[in-house]
Amino acid sequence: MVIHSTTEEMSKPNKRQFKTDSGIEIRGVYRPSESNYEAKLGDPGEYPYTRGVYPTMYRSRLWTMRQYAGFGTAAESNKRYKYLLSQGTTGLSVAFDLPTQMGYDSDHPIAEGEVGKVGVAIDTLSDIEMLFDGIMLQNITTSMTINATAAILLCMYVALAKKQKADLQKLSGTIQNDILKEYVSRGTYIYPPKQSMRLVTDIFAWCSEHLPNWNTISISGYHIREAGATAVQEVAFTLANAREYVSAAVSAGLSVDTFAPRLSFFFNAHNNFFEEVAKFRAARRLWAHMMKEEFHATNPDAMKLRFHAQTGGSTLTAQHIENNIPRVTLQALAAVLGGAQSLHTNAKDEALALPTEESAQLALRTQQIIAYESGAADTVDPLAGSYFVESLTDEIELRAQEYLRRIAALGGAVKAIETHYYQNEIADSAYEYQKAIDAKEKIIVGVNEFTSAEQTDQNLLRIDDALRKEQTQRLNSVKKFRSAEDVQKKLEAIRKSAEGKENLIPPILSAVEAYATIGEISDALRSVWGEHRE
């Protein structure tokens, strides 16, 4: 069937601007350039890894299919994890509620109205035991989106693994542990930057000895992009933060060839399809050059940018949520063609609520269809050699390099954040993006064009406010069976370690195993370090 445009539609002035979301001009036709792409790119699995970090990529092993999940109580989230595993997910990804992220127990006054709302509520090791009940940690990889309290959640995970008699040398997964972007885009920080960076490097050091297969950080451009950054800014600010973490670790005496192979990244996948593919390729090349030329890494694994991608939450529309299905499909395909190591696909209803079981299943099926039906995973870097994609890759690399030079001139990422350089650049980009939407220079289907009446009685997941009472009762029960005297001794050990220079992970792990709460451990550190105020 052919659908003909009306005369009115055809007569509308064309306001389209042929630019990527980063403002890169798009030419009508791309032709062979003078540069020798084949010589410049190299092969997949070879420096500078533009074409992928592994020689055979998905021909040998598909990306890990994660579905970010967590809501309500640990028991409810455990059911969702088991459901997702039964539907074919190959890795778990844990979302935590805001009190857990901010270091407050569920019974704290500030937690009212937030317990279990945007993720699962975790107060003690008992909750982690319930969260992973019936799931053997050694047999699954788990990603935990946690930052200010990352050390505590990691210790809880390790404590449970020990109870399961797991071999810690084989335990694999990721903690986000990227505190710098919290000061820029999300705001779930607790301590001042200097002390927060100490926690990050303590995790690097401890895991390199005890958890060699654990990704100690997932340096996140995702949230920077969600705050309004362009694709170029996402790459540049993420790599500038990564440079800061590496510098801090090297200054703390760690070997770059030892800890850097366990660094991972977390990027957004947005709608501008070809720019997104090029963004991932440019990021890999920039990271390889940075690690080799600036930090003198000799271990190839220290130069490989491995990343998880998530489709863009900020691109989802509350209007006509079915339109989010093709959006997520395009974004997921861009991540795959860009060489992601793991992927989360957002559910269609997430602009309105946490996903239902049905919408989460559909999001997972989107990944599976790309993997098994599209042919996109049959060859490595299938868009390599495209004049358009290679040109975009080069341009993104050049523009990101310019940002990296500016940030270095300001004194590095921490200084740039403290002087609000990141924040101001992101705010300007977000403003320009919204202006383009308001002027219909950028069309958002179903929002500023092609709108129609829709049903409003959506089947959405709702979290009952009564959950806080249930979680508080559980917390009180834990406090009754544990030794209060032992907990206080463990908390005092954390305070003493915070005042000195010894690694904080052992005393935190000891406190966790005594069933100290997230709030108690966070308060022990607050009592020494104070809190960061914007």
CATH code of domain 49-438 = 3.20.20.240
Q: What is the pLDDT of residue 11?
A: 42
Q: Quick check: helix, strand or coil at residue 117?
A: coil
Per-residue pLDDT of 218-237, as tens digits, reads 999 999 999 999 999 999 99
Q: What is the pLDDT of residue 7?
A: 41
Q: What is the pLDDT of residue 463?
A: 75
Q: What is the pLDDT of residue 41?
A: 83
Q: What is the pLDDT of residue 5?
A: 40
Q: What is the pLDDT of residue 38?
A: 66
Residue 394: other Cβ atoms inside 10 A? 18
Alpha helices in 103-140 (DSSP H): 125-131
For residue 278, which amino acid is it? A
Alpha helices in 33-120 (DSSP H): 37-41, 74-86, 98-102
| pLDDT of residue 456 exceeding 60 | no
Residue 42 pLDDT level (bands cut at 50, 70, 90): confident
Listed in order, strand segments (DSSP E) in 133-245 are 142-145, 173-175, 214-215, 217-220
Average pLDDT of span 298-314: 97
Per-residue pLDDT of 79-108, as tens digits, reads 999 999 999 999 999 999 999 999 999 999
Q: What is the pLDDT of residue 497?
A: 98
Query: What is the share, in percent, of the chain residues with pLDDT greater than 90?
Result: 89
Q: Name the least confident of 189-198, 219-228, 449-458, 512-521.
A: 449-458
Closest CA to 154 of 133, 135, 175: 175
| pLDDT of residue 6 exceeding 70 | no
| CA separation, residue 152 to residues 143, 195, 329, 504, 518 (Å) | 14, 15, 35, 10, 7
Q: What is the pLDDT of residue 222?
A: 96
Per-residue pLDDT of 59-72, as tens digits, reads 999 999 998 888 99
Q: What is the pLDDT of residue 4?
A: 41
| pLDDT of residue 374 exceeding 80 | yes
d(CA 490, CA 299): 38
Q: What is the pLDDT of residue 8?
A: 43
d(CA 199, CA 103): 14
411: left (phi over 0), alpha (psi -120 to 50) or beta: left
| pLDDT of residue 3 exceeding 50 | no
